[in-house]
Every structure is written in structure tokens, then in C-alpha cells.
Amino acid sequence: MSRRDYLLRKLGFSLMTVLIVLVINFVLFRILPGDPVRAVIGRNVRISPQVQQALRVQFGLDKPVFPDQFIDTLGQWAQGNLGISWSQRQPVANILIAKLGNTLLLIGLGQILSIFFGVILGLLAGWKRKTPIDVGALTFSLIAWATPTFWLGIILLAAGSTWLGLPTGGIVSPANVSKPLYTVIPDVARHLALPTLTLTILYLGEYMLIMRSSILEVLNEDYILTAKAKGMSHWQVLMRHALKNAMLPVVTLIALNLGFTVSGAIYIEAVFSYDGLGKLFQDALTKQDYPLLQGAFLLLAVSVILANMLADILYTYLDPRVKAN
């Protein structure tokens, strides 16, 4: 299969998946009990039957659900119109955009740190196979896998706030709320420390495992033997030849893990009252704010799918074997 065919297939698959997400979102919204007009304008607004009928026509709700209403809705979503939040009485899209940056900051920090430490630990574990370092690293990842994210968060929250005096939630102290984030970096860092630590511990295990098995595989390759035969030291072989090739599966894992990353962020933001998409999601759940819930789901799902596709494309550029085919 040529590279172009491969990319087209990936693109096709991603578009299909996005379409399925759109259908799920549409169907879920429609099977909710009650009048869709109510769903659009909110539950507690009093309006006369005539106005309701007028609204029904205006929103196209007098037309058949499929295909007319479905296509209408898709058009709305495509224009970034995700409806009005019931609880905040603002356009859902505006609320989501306001929180997106905070979540990206948290996830980004967690990912960078866990990839960095995961790669180093995995490299060490694979290199010093079956030594206490290796066994310790594997045991750690097993236990991390079996530990609920939010519970680890609660423990670190309790420990960090009691013994280190770290803040228990939020992104900035109340005094700094109105200042731009970059002017109060030390304060923000103190708030980010615990959530980032939780995410890093959580993600670390899998990067370490994949790096470990990947480095073991690479060390068996002929070109490693050649490099050793040329008289290169262990360290040179590891850095110049093994590391670069062993990193490839890590790149794939970043993409595969995105869904998992998003789940982690939802739990962590709930525990640390971190003002991002995850906490928004939980607030929408408790307030039964469906437009907000569905908007958040749409945004998260579509971004994960598209990021996966981008990672696939990136991979074809990184791996010369894929390029050659």
C-alpha cells in the first residue's frame, strides 16, 4: 500500500468516526424526555404555546427528525453553535473555549513530564534488565495501573496540603484571579504542582513499559551489534542508535493514550477543583446541563479523534520503514 493510500484510509476512518460521534451526540440529545423546545431554551422559562410553536418553526423542530433536523444540527455544530448552557445561560462554545486552555496546560505538563521520566526509566529498566531497577520499575507500573486516578489525587491532595502547605484547589489564589496568568507564574505553579504530579505518576507507567520493551527489541537488532563491533561504548550505542529507534512506539502510545489522558484530566480536575474542561464536565453532570455536557463530549471526542489521525500521519514521516512502503 502506498503512503498516499494509507493516509487516505486513515483520513476516511477518522471522518467516519467523527460522523459516528456526531450521530451519537444527536441521538442522545433527541431521546431525552421532554420537549426539544424546552431543551433549547431552558426548563424554567415561561412561554405561551404560540411562542413555543413559533420557536419550533424557527429551530426547524417541525421538520422530520431525519434527515432534515439532523442536517440542520450538523450545520449548526459546524458553525460552532453548540446551543445555550442551561446552568450558565451562555453559548456552550464560549464556555468551552474559556476552559480549554487550562486543561491543555494541565494535560500538556503531565504528558511532557511523564514521557520524559517514562522514557528514562524505561531505558534504564530495559538496559539493566532483571536487576532491582527493572523489577522496581515493573512493580511500580503494576500498582499504578491498579490504583484509581482520583484516589491517588485525593491522597496527594491530603499529603501535599498538610505537609507542604500546597493549595487544595483552583489555578490561582483569590488575590490573583484578575491578573493575567503569566504574571503570577509562581502562584500558578504552586497550584499546578499536585495535579501535575498525579497525572505524571499515572501516565508514567505505560510510557515506561513501552520504552522498556521497545529498547529490548532494538538492542537485539543487527545494527546495534555492528555499532558495538565498531568499538562504540555501551552509552554511545544507546544514545546514538538505540534511543532514536526505540522512541517510535512511544510516539504511537501518545496518540493511543489520548482518550486515557482525557479521562485522567476529568478525574484530576474534579479532585483539585481545577477550572478546566473536566471540571466543567462534572459540573454539567451534577447540574444536568445537557447542552453543556454534549458540547463538552463533542469537543473532547472530536479532538481526540483528530489528534489520533495527526499522530498516524506524523508516524509515517518518523518511521522510515513506513515511508519506504
Q: Which residues bind other proteins (CB under 8 A)?
A: 13-14, 16-17, 20-21, 24-25, 28, 31-33, 130, 132, 134-135, 138-139, 141-143, 145-151, 154-155, 157-158, 161-162, 168, 206, 209-210, 212-214, 216-217, 258-260, 262-263, 266-267, 270-271, 281-282, 285-286, 288, 290, 293-294, 296-297, 300-301, 304-305, 308
CB distance 206 to 141 below 8 Å: yes
C-alpha angle with apex 27: 300 to 59, nearest 5 degrees? Answer: 95
CB closer to other proteins out of 161 and 236: 161
Residue 284: phi and psi, rounded to 5, are -60, -35
| DSSP element (H, E) containing 295 | helix 290-318
The nearest distance, CB 255 to other proteins, in angstroms, is 9
Q: What are the grid coordinates assigned to 246, written together? A: 526505540
CB closer to other proteins out of 28 and 239: 28
CB closer to other proteins out of 190 and 236: 190
What is the C-alpha to C-alpha distance for residues 134 and 125, in angstroms, rounded to an integer?
A: 4
The nearest distance, CB 106 to other proteins, in angstroms, is 15
CB closer to other proteins out of 184 and 261: 261
CB closer to other proteins out of 184 and 293: 293
Q: For residue 67, say if its preceding peptide bond is cis, omega within 30 degrees of 0.
A: yes
Half-sphere exposure of 11 (CA within 13 A, CB side): 7
Q: Which residue pairs, CB below 8 angstroms and at least 24 apart, start in 306-309?
A: 306/14, 306/18, 307/255, 307/258, 308/14, 308/255, 308/256, 308/258, 309/10, 309/11, 309/14
Please give the torsion angle defined by the CA atoms of residues 246, 250, 256 and 258, in that order, rounded to the nearest 10 degrees: -170
The nearest distance, CB 293 to other proteins, in angstroms, is 6
CB closer to other proteins out of 117 and 290: 290
Residues 6 or more apart whose CB falls under 8 angstroms from that of 59 comprise 36, 37, 40
The nearest distance, CB 251 to other proteins, in angstroms, is 16
The nearest distance, CB 215 to other proteins, in angstroms, is 9
CB closer to other proteins out of 212 and 241: 212
What is the DSSP annotation of 191-235? HHHHHHHHHHHHHHHHHHHHHHHHHHHHHTSHHHHHHHHTT--HH
The nearest distance, CB 218 to other proteins, in angstroms, is 11
The nearest distance, CB 230 to other proteins, in angstroms, is 25
Return the CA Rg of the chain. Answer: 24
The nearest distance, CB 170 to other proteins, in angstroms, is 15
CB closer to other proteins out of 120 and 155: 155
Residues 6 or more apart whose CB falls under 8 angstroms from that of 17 comprise 305
DSSP lists the bridge partners of residue 84 as: 91
